[in-house]
């Protein structure tokens, strides 16, 4: 039986890590030329800095969060106060934020495309929540999903239920939603003590076969081999499709709410590459390999890479998150995703105090994290 205090520490570390990553990325956000972040800020960024004049987050105080971070904090406050995920309560909070915006990028803190689409649906077209989801393939929902992954870490089905429902509020694309749920499930698994190794995805995929995870599982080639041998290795070793999976539990058909497990399998390959001595990528060049821009398909591989590459170091959290920040592009989202992963590994207790106490409103934040963790893993 796992230590409740350790589980709670990892709950708080995951959410706090996402908030810190977001806040660290606000100042140096969206510089797309390698080395431009360091040129603009006089060296390696290792603390909270203000955005330069004319940049995306001009006027946001160092240590404060972006609008994506605001959505995460609204969800954290809602879940902590309600004790559970109440979509009605959260949507009321989102409507309150939308009331302060005008649908343009700069009516408040920088408003990304997904939230501009949501604003238009709610305020101009009078659509209901559930109808307004954007087809932007961005990571805002994945970043705030950390709150739900942490709150419901003891039940993967509840992670799936709540993250799927919450993601659909702002993002409609099913591939993006599947990637978001995969990330949230990985975070929940790490909180539960699953090793962040090359086999994490295949272990989770086994749970999908039993219905313990809301994914279909597909049939991998290696699972067909025993059935192929039993069928007499028809057609030169490849048996007919009817026989080839006869000894394998048939997967459920995918639907718009039942996703393929590719997103669960992704981190295992990234981890293997990050820790392979024959694979060498300078940390600040990682986004050049996986993608610099805002698509979640670019951001998640880089976040998994940073979380794996610096594993085992005493400064694991700081080294991984700061590398994500200093690597440019959509470094703010990349750092938030990285912070959630590593925070879930090391726990709040290992996150440097200077990064916690540099956050705007950190004194009010810590009690919310305590409440979330206590609800996630109550005393026996």
* Rounded distance between C-alpha atoms, residue 13 and residue 248, angstroms: 39
Residues comprising the chain, all counted: 380
Residue 141 has pLDDT above 80, yes or no: yes
> For 117-128, what is each residue's pLDDT tens digit?
999 999 999 999
Residue 249 has pLDDT above 80, yes or no: no
Q: Given CA atoms 151, 345, 194, 173 in this order, what sign does their dihedral have?
A: positive
Please state the rounded mean pLDDT for residues 335-363. 98
Q: What is the pTM of this model?
A: 0.92
Position 245 confidence tier, pLDDT thresholds 50, 70, 90: very low
Q: Write the DSSP symbol of residue 134.
A: B
Residue 219 has pLDDT above 70, yes or no: no
pLDDT at 243: 39
pLDDT at 239: 30
| CA neighbor of 22 nearest in space, from 344, 333, 340, 364 | 333
Please state the rounded mean pLDDT for residues 227-241. 39
pLDDT at 211: 82
* Rounded distance between C-alpha atoms, residue 282 and residue 7, angstroms: 33
> The CATH number of 4-210+261-376 is which of 1.10.260.40, 1.10.4080.10, 3.40.640.10, 1.10.10.60?
1.10.4080.10
Residue 260 has pLDDT above 60, yes or no: yes
Please state the rounded mean pLDDT for residues 236-257. 53
> For 154-212, what is each residue's pLDDT tens digit?
999 999 999 999 999 999 999 999 999 999 999 999 999 999 999 999 999 888 888 88
Domain extents in the chain: 4-210+261-376
Residue 214 has pLDDT above 90, yes or no: no
CB 19 within 8 A of CB 36: no
Residue 230 has pLDDT above 60, yes or no: no
Residue 225 has pLDDT above 90, yes or no: no
Q: Which long-range contacts (CB under 8 A, 24 or more apart) does 35-42 make?
A: 35/284, 35/328, 36/328, 37/325, 37/326, 37/327, 37/328, 37/331, 38/326
pLDDT at 206: 86
Q: What is the per-residue burial (b if ≥16 Cβ within 10 Å, else e) of 237-266? A: eebeeeebbeebeebeeeeeebbbbebbbb
Q: Given CA atoms 223, 225, 227, 228 in this order, what sign does their dihedral have?
A: positive
> For 53-97, what is each residue's pLDDT tens digit?
999 999 999 999 999 999 999 999 999 999 999 999 999 999 999
- The gap from C-alpha 84 to its chain's centroid, in whole angstroms, comes to 20
Flag whether 139 is marked binding: no
**How large a percentage of the chain has pLDDT more than 90?**
82
* Rounded distance between C-alpha atoms, residue 33 and residue 16, angstroms: 29
């Amino acid at each position: 039986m796992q230590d409740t205090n350790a589980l709670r520490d990892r709950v708080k570390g995951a959410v706090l890590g996402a908030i810190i990553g977001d806040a660290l990325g606000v100042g140096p956000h969206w510089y797309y030329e390698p080395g431009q972040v360091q040129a603009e800020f006089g060296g390696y960024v290792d603390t909270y800095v203000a955005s330069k004049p004319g940049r995306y987050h001009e006027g946001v105080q160092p240590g404060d969060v972006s609008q994506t971070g605001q959505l995460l904090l609204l969800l954290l406050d809602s879940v902590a106060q309600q004790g559970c995920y109440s979509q009605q309560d959260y949507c009321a909070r989102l409507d309150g934020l939308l009331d302060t915006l005008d649908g343009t990028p700069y009516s408040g803190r920088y408003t990304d495309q997904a939230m501009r689409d949501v604003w238009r649906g709610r305020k101009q077209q009078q659509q209901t929540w559930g109808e307004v989801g954007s087809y932007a393939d961005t990571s805002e929902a994945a970043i705030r999903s950390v709150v739900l992954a942490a709150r419901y870490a003891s039940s993967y089905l509840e992670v799936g239920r709540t993250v799927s429902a919450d993601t659909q509020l702002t993002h409609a694309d099913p591939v993006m939603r599947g990637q978001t749920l995969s990330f949230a499930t990985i975070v929940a698994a790490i909180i539960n003590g699953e090793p962040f190794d090359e086999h994490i995805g295949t272990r989770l995929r086994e749970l999908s076969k039993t219905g313990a995870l809301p994914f279909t599982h597909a049939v991998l080639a290696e699972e067909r081999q025993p059935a192929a041998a039993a069928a007499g290795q028809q057609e030169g070793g490849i048996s007919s499709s009817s026989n080839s999976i006869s000894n394998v539990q048939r997967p459920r058909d995918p639907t718009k709410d039942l996703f393929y497990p590719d997103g669960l399998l992704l981190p295992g390959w990234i981890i293997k590459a990050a820790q392979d001595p024959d694979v060498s990528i300078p940390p600040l060049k990682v986004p050049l390999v996986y993608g610099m821009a805002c698509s979640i398909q670019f951001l998640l591989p880089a976040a998994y890479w940073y979380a794996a590459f610096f594993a085992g170091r005493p400064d694991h959290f700081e080294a991984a998150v700061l590398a994500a920040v200093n690597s440019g592009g959509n470094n703010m989202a990349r750092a938030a995703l990285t912070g959630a992963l590593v925070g879930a590994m090391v726990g709040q207790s290992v996150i440097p105090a200077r990064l916690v106490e540099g956050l705007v409103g950190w004194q009010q934040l810590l009690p919310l994290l305590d409440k979330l963790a206590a609800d996630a893993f109550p005393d026996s």
